[in-house]
Every structure is written in C-alpha cells, then in structure tokens.
A and B are shown apart, each in its own frame.
Chain A
Amino acid sequence: MLEPETLGAAIEEKLRALTRGDVRVENLKMLAGGASQETWALDLILENGAPRGEYQLVLRRQLGGKIHPDALDLEREFRVMQVAYASSVLLPYPQAFLPDLLNRPAALLHRKRGETIGRRIVREPSLKHARKILPKQMGEMLAQIHKIEIDKYAMRLFLPQPPIEFSPARWIVENLEKNLDVILQESHEPHPALELGLRWLRNNEPPAPKDLVLLHGDYRIGNVIVDETGLVSVLDWEFAHIGDAYEDLAWSLVRDWQFGNDHLRFGGIAQPDEFFAAYENAMGVKLNHDAVRYWEVMGNMRWAIGMLNQAQRHLRGEEANLEFASLGRRCAEVELEVMRLIRA
C-alpha cells in the first residue's frame, strides 16, 4: 500500500511546480480505499507563491482497478463538478485536477464538514431540524442541477447520453437488459423477477421528454453532506449523464435509499410531496405522477442489477469485498419491491 509520506511528498512536489512557492502537506490520512479509487483527507499550506493560503482538502485518486462500467473517469467527473460549481450548485469546490500523481489521475477538492452516512442522517437526533428542511432544499438543488445549460458547456461532447434512435428510458432498458445477460452468462443465474420488471418497463415506456437535462445520476440521501442546518454539499458525481429529469427525481424514492425507514419514501426522512413541490416551484413545471412511478420502477431495477454487478466484481476477483459479495443476496429485497410496484 502507498505510504502517506510518499503521497504527501508527491503532492508537495507537484504543487511546488504549479504555485512556484512553498508547499506543505499536513495531517494526510486515508478516508476510504478500494480497488478503483482511494480518498484521503489533508491540509495544504501554500506560501510565497500563488495562490497562497491554508486549505482543508480531500484528495481522490483513481487507481488501476476497473471502475463501474457506467461511471465517469475522474477527469470527466471533475469537469462536471466544475460546471456544477459555476452554476451555483452546492458542492465541494473542485480545486485542482492532477493528471499524473504517482502515475495516477487525482483531484483535490475542498473538504466540507457534516454527515454523509445515510443510516445516521435518517436517525441522528441532532439532525432532526435538517430532516425537516432537507426535502425542500434537495428539491430546489436538483432543479438547480437540471437547469444547467448542457450546450453552453458542450456537455454532450463528454457525457454518456441516449443514442439518437432511443428515448432516455429505452436507452437504459436496453443497457439493463445487456447487463443482465452478462450476469446470466457469467453466473448462469436467471432472474425472472427482473425479467418481469424489464417487460413492464418496455410495455409502459413514457414518451421521450422535450428536453434532455444534465442528471446527477446518484442523487439521494447517502450522497449528500448534511449538518444541523440541512444540505451542505452534493457529492458523488461519477454517474452524471444526460437524460430524462424524472430519472433523478425518482431515484431517491428507491426503497434501499430509505435506510430501513421505509414508511418515509423520500430517502427515509419524509414523504416525497415537499421534495416534488420544491422542484416544481424552482423549475416552473408540473410533475406527472405516472412518470415518477415509471422511473421509480426503473430506479429499483437499476439498483437490483447494480447489486448483482457489485457481487460479480467480488466473484470475478476484481475487488475482494465482503460487502459487495453480500449485495448479491440483498438483490432479492429489491426484486420484491419491483414486483410490488408493477403488480397490475
């Protein structure tokens, strides 16, 4: 494993060349590690050059392991974050992209304080007030993301998007079906519940929306920083793509993002009405509840197949991880939810 001293020295050397000043890295500590990415916390002190100052940062480093097939690489994710930051979305300031830090791409982001763990956000007594205002804040913030002018930033040139012949829904259904076939080939494991879900998605496909928008792609409790005052930052932009706004809107209703509080359909903290109302107000639109329902089925299907993928990552030896392995068996929970939602 990489020693903190080695990494710290590498960061100092890179930044010395860029700032032409003195650079000190302090309190470097690993926060999370995996086969495809690692995250570190550090304090950076820049003196006698430009810029100067003290920064509390997070360093994310892309490793050699295979990333999720739908995920952006770090460089494109960083570009999306820069656009979102410039468009007044709350997120940690993306400060620097280093294409080659010890032979790997890395990004420096401002470090924000607050809670990110979903199980705690839905239960922690000190976040009671935050839970009250989060649905409104998250609805408004999602509208802020969806208002980003994708063509002003030429985002079609670097983000995944539906091919011209498919609606956004059809595009995802086709991808899910292909994905399920790969799993069937590798594990010989058929999933009739998910096949029923796919048929339902094909038979109930909504018309393509007039405008496609920039989607966060993983917008939910668990991917936001929250403190006593509510929403602090939106994290985890690696699934950003271009598609149907309803995809993001329904994703936080997926039962597994309710963290066991499943009587509260919006992320385990509230009924979704306020979240939707805030989005409608900010966006100047009226939401269609059938479309929400359709994309809720889609979201559960996406996560069910995502769980099987994670289990396969473990089984293939790409990333030995007990949690990933156990997701293979948790898929049945989402299958039951899919069946409950599509029951005629």
Chain B
Amino acid sequence: MQDHPTSLELINAVAQFLNAELAPTLSDPRLKFRALVAANVLNIVARELELSDAQLRAERERLNELLSENASGENLRADVERMTRELSQKIRAGEADEGAFHNAVFAHVEQTVIEKLQVTNPKYLARVLDETADNAE
C-alpha cells in the first residue's frame, strides 16, 4: 500500500500549483492558457477517479436492460464498451428511430452524456440543465 498523499490528492496538488502559482506568473498569454488547460485536465482526472466506478456500474445496468443482456464481467469498462458499440450499430441501422425503444435509448444516451459531463465539466452541465428547466417552466 502506498503512503499519503493518495493519487487523487497528488493530482489536486499539481492542479492547484498550475492554477494558483504557475499561471499567474506567465506573461505569454498562449502559455498561460495552456497552463490553465493543464490544470483543468487534472481536475477532470481527479473527478474521474472519484466517480468512474459508480458511473460505469450504472451505465452497464442500463445497457443490460436496453439490450436484454446480463453482462457482469470483471472488466466493467470492457462490458460497457462492447454493449455501447452494439447499441450504436442499432441506432445506425435505424432500429431506434421511433417508439418506445427510441425513448429508452434517448434517455440512456442522454444520462450517459450527463455522467461524462459530471466528470469533464460539471459547471457547464449545471448551466445547461438550469436553462432546460427554465424553458420547461
């Protein structure tokens, strides 16, 4: 077992260094922008470390339901990837163009995109979801 800091804590430390210490000292705007991009990428990795296991489990459950399967392998990601490829082929073939299957597929895919954004850009996600809620009112 490794000592502290954990990988998550190390990543957070580097992100904070880039953001708070390095970026403000850079006078070349392009370099500064890249330092901020780098910090942001590390924040993504940190959120992924926290969320990915639960997200992949939920995604596999939904895919099992949609495709009437029972995948439960050791390698969660491999299961999700295989079933998502299958789902994508069905969409491409026009099998999800309408009806109940369309609605179920749409809801699943939208939820999956939302889960990606919980990792990659939660602020943007919150803004878009707020907007959608406003329009529905």
Contacts of A329 in B (CB 8 A): 41, 44, 116, 120
Among residues of A, the one whose C-beta sits closest to the C-beta of B123 is: A260
- Which single member of B81, B88, B116 contacts A195 (CB below 8 Å)? B88
Tell me the bound Cα distance from A203 to B91 in angstroms: 12
A203 adjacent to B97 (CB under 8 Å): yes
B127 adjacent to A262 (CB under 8 Å): yes
A332 adjacent to B113 (CB under 8 Å): yes
Contacts of A323 in B (CB 8 A): 34, 37
A322 adjacent to B34 (CB under 8 Å): yes
| Residue A188 at the chain B interface, CB threshold 8 Å | yes
Contacts of A332 in B (CB 8 A): 113, 116-117, 120-121
Tell me the bound Cα distance from A208 to B106 in angstroms: 29
Tell me the bound Cα distance from A143 to B132 in angstroms: 33
B128 adjacent to A336 (CB under 8 Å): yes
A196 adjacent to B106 (CB under 8 Å): yes
Contacts of A81 in B (CB 8 A): none
- Which single member of B91, B127, B131 contacts A199 (CB below 8 Å)? B91
- Which single member of B96, B120, B124 contacts A196 (CB below 8 Å)? B96
| Residue B5 at the chain A interface, CB threshold 8 Å | no
Which chain A residues (296-344) contact chain B, with CB distance < 8 Å?
322-323, 325-326, 329-330, 332-333, 335-337, 339-340, 343
A336 adjacent to B114 (CB under 8 Å): yes
Among residues of A, the one whose C-beta sits closest to the C-beta of B108 is: A192
Contacts of A9 in B (CB 8 A): none
Contacts of A198 in B (CB 8 A): 92
A330 adjacent to B113 (CB under 8 Å): no
Q: How many Å from the CB of A120 to the closest CB on chain B?
A: 10
| Residue A287 at the chain B interface, CB threshold 8 Å | no
Tell me the bound Cα distance from A262 to B125 in angstroms: 12
Among residues of B, the one whose C-beta sits closest to the C-beta of A263 is: B131
B37 adjacent to A322 (CB under 8 Å): yes
B117 adjacent to A199 (CB under 8 Å): no
Among residues of B, the one whose C-beta sits closest to the C-beta of A334 is: B113
Q: How many Å from the CB of A102 to the closest CB on chain B?
A: 24
Tell whether A192 pairs with B40 under 8 Å between CB atoms, given A198-B92, A199-B92, A332-B116.
Answer: no
Q: How many Å from the CB of A98 to the closest CB on chain B?
A: 26
> B23-57 CB contact bits vs A (8 Å, 1 = yes)?
00000001000100110110010000000000000
Contacts of B94 in A (CB 8 A): 199
Among residues of B, the one whose C-beta sits closest to the C-beta of A32 is: B30
Contacts of B88 in A (CB 8 A): 184, 190-192, 195
Q: How many Å from the CB of B98 to the closest CB on chain A?
A: 9
A195 adjacent to B92 (CB under 8 Å): yes
Among residues of B, the one whose C-beta sits closest to the C-beta of A325 is: B41
Among residues of A, the one whose C-beta sits closest to the C-beta of B84 is: A190
> A175-193 CB contact bits vs B (8 Å, 1 = yes)?
0000000001000111111
B96 adjacent to A199 (CB under 8 Å): yes
Tell me the bound Cα distance from A41 to B118 in angstroms: 42
Contacts of B121 in A (CB 8 A): 330, 332-333
Tell whether A190 pairs with B81 under 8 Å between CB atoms, given A323-B37, A332-B113.
Answer: yes
Besides A195-B88, A263-B131, A336-B125, 15 other A-B contacts (C-beta < 8 A): A188-B85, A190-B87, A192-B87, A192-B91, A192-B105, A193-B109, A193-B112, A262-B131, A323-B37, A326-B40, A329-B44, A330-B120, A332-B120, A332-B121, A333-B117
Closest 10 CB pairs of A and B: A332-B116, A195-B91, A190-B88, A329-B120, A190-B85, A190-B84, A192-B109, A335-B113, A195-B88, A192-B88
Contacts from B to A (Cβ < 8 Å): 30, 34, 37-38, 40-41, 44, 81, 84-85, 87-88, 91-92, 94, 96-97, 105-106, 109-110, 112-114, 116-117, 120-121, 124-125, 127-128, 131-132
